[in-house]
Structure 1
């Protein structure tokens, strides 16, 4: 009888999704930096390091989206593929990078570590996905698939910030409790209680996964999860940032969502020239849109300047593409057209490797 009772309660627990406490640790480090807002009434809200910065060195003002022989599209800058030739880069870092779409990457290292960066495999979490279905044009095409066997090899998952296009609760349910989750401060409370191992990190703290050191670094952005006007109870209650992955002296930088600011020079001062930079070029509004939006999202020309500040030896851009949500951009690929124009105009010597969703490259 006891055996049947035990089976009964286990079955009920499985159906109801019984909670298992998560293992949450705050990573302590003497190098840790946290900046809190001085806004009245908010003593525990995070702030950017250079919150008032809005001095952008370059701005494209005319003919920003000329045709490019390197990009083939089904319609005007829409449903496109990059068909040009990428530069040959022999940096021997051992990093293998797969772009899954939008801000999601799969990173493999020479010693076998596999790290997922900002994985979002489908649409936004409920209820925003439901709302977006009512607003034509805001659902993304399905991103590149990784496959269950490949996902099962994941050692760590890192998130840059809490926004819906970078963090999806449905995905962590799929990834399960095997990987370690590295997240910004205040982030862990957004995980359901299912036994996840979560490390919360401040800027310039570090955690090792195998032979790879993972450093959390600043970005110039913001955070919220509740999209209701004038309801600010979660604004900037979680931190945001980027990630530097360091393996046997080689570095790869993922910027996360960010505007341009001096924080890029700060990162170079800490880590030296960056071997591989994954930089956002999309999700920006035009010059007629509110100024605050450029403050938190780089234009293609901002990303080019940032790559120089960082001393990038090679850059992979992201944020555009057929599996993006076209948030704030003209079309799915307009940011890439603008990048091609501004790279030529600014005469940058840094090589840029352009991937299509699902594409991969070894450095």
Structure 2
């Protein structure tokens, strides 16, 4: 019997396959470090916090609209408005699972996942929030096992709980490649995962698609209250550009407004499809610093113009979001429609409900 007990831990060790980690950071990439003494090992944004935003909704920011049907005021809603008919021939098919999670397919049958989070926050954080009756989402749209198996690569924007869930990585498995920011791999579970850590403007080719990591204006941590613990800003954050057959798709990740949008446009030119966040910016009575790292709907519209997007798909609102700082599940979408009209925006908005997809 003693040999059985000796064999059992050996079998467990044999199953714990080490991850493979590659780092892409060279002379053509960008890395910005903190300038504060004693924090030189922490990352920083390319630009300082934006001093004054181009436009801010001042009043009547959430007027009612027949284009959105809700069970309560701006809560538990369904967008039923007409989306524009587009013929940009990008070759991308985009499915929104909810919050920041997207499935993107190309015309040559490649499939990519952005920030896939199917469940709640990782335990025990999800348990704590459930007890506090806050930040507990309704179930997001799911993917079947066959759909997941078709994935070529998974990209994460940063390590915050609502964008990166270790339990979901185990569910997706180690078949696809994982592309992540610098300092990210240590947060992965062990399981034979193929991980590429990337600096800003590094790129990697996966099949026929070139995947570029680009800046965002945000921060990172795996704790509830930022700026109090050792892991803060020790993993980088950013967005992603997919380049396939001369067409581009940009997923910004969580970001505030800054001049990094102009920089991205300077490198890639007009972006065919832009996936931009419009939520989690807090209300007017909340701390002003939160807008530094989350775009309001009007910030997203300004960014879209600077990126010269051919179409914008907004995200962050919705019935499967955590409503972190937003008035309701769909208040940000109401505000987007208001500001889209007020600013006479010429860039088409294609608005999805969770689980819907569109070929553009």
Q: TM-score, normalized by length of structure 1?
A: 0.96
Per-residue CA distance 1:286-345 (angstroms, 9 max, x = gap): 222211100000000000000001000000000000000000100000000000000000
Task: Specify the alignment match of 1:216 in structure 2.
Answer: 213
Contact 2:254-2:277 within 8 A present in 1 as well:
yes
Mapping 1:117-196, distance limit 5 Å: 117-196=114-193
1:70 and 2:70 are equivalent in the alignment: no
Contact 1:95-1:107 within 8 A present in 2 as well:
yes
Number of residue-to-residue matches in the alignment: 360
Q: Structure 1 unaligned runs (5+)?
A: none
Task: Specify the alignment match of 2:257 in structure 1.
Answer: 260
Per-residue CA distance 1:8-55 (angstroms, 9 max, x = gap): 83x655667842211000024432000001012111100001123232
Q: Distance in 2 between matches of 1:35 and 1:196?
A: 27
Task: Specify the alignment match of 2:105 in structure 1.
Answer: 108
Q: Structure 2 unaligned runs (5+)?
A: none
1:43 and 2:40 are equivalent in the alignment: yes
Which of 232, 235, 238 matches 2:232? 235
Contact 2:49-2:292 within 8 A present in 1 as well:
no
Task: Specify the alignment match of 2:310 in structure 1.
Answer: 313
Seen in structure 2, the aligned counterparts of structure 1 residues 109 and 26 have a Cα distance that, compared at 3 Å, is same
Q: Following TM superposition, by how much is the alpha carbon of 1:146 offset from its aligned partner in structure 2, in angstroms?
A: 1.0
Task: Specify the alignment match of 1:90 in structure 2.
Answer: 87
Contact 2:49-2:258 within 8 A present in 1 as well:
no
Q: TM-score, normalized by length of structure 2?
A: 0.96
For the residue of structure 1 that corresponds to 2:154, the secondary structure is strand
What's the C-alpha RMSD, in Å, of the aligned pairs? 1.8
Mapping 1:277-316, distance limit 5 Å: 277-316=274-313
Q: Following TM superposition, by how much is the alpha carbon of 1:136 offset from its aligned partner in structure 2, in angstroms?
A: 1.4
User: After TM superposition, what 4+ stretches of structure 1 lie above 6 angstroms from structure 2?
Assistant: 5-8
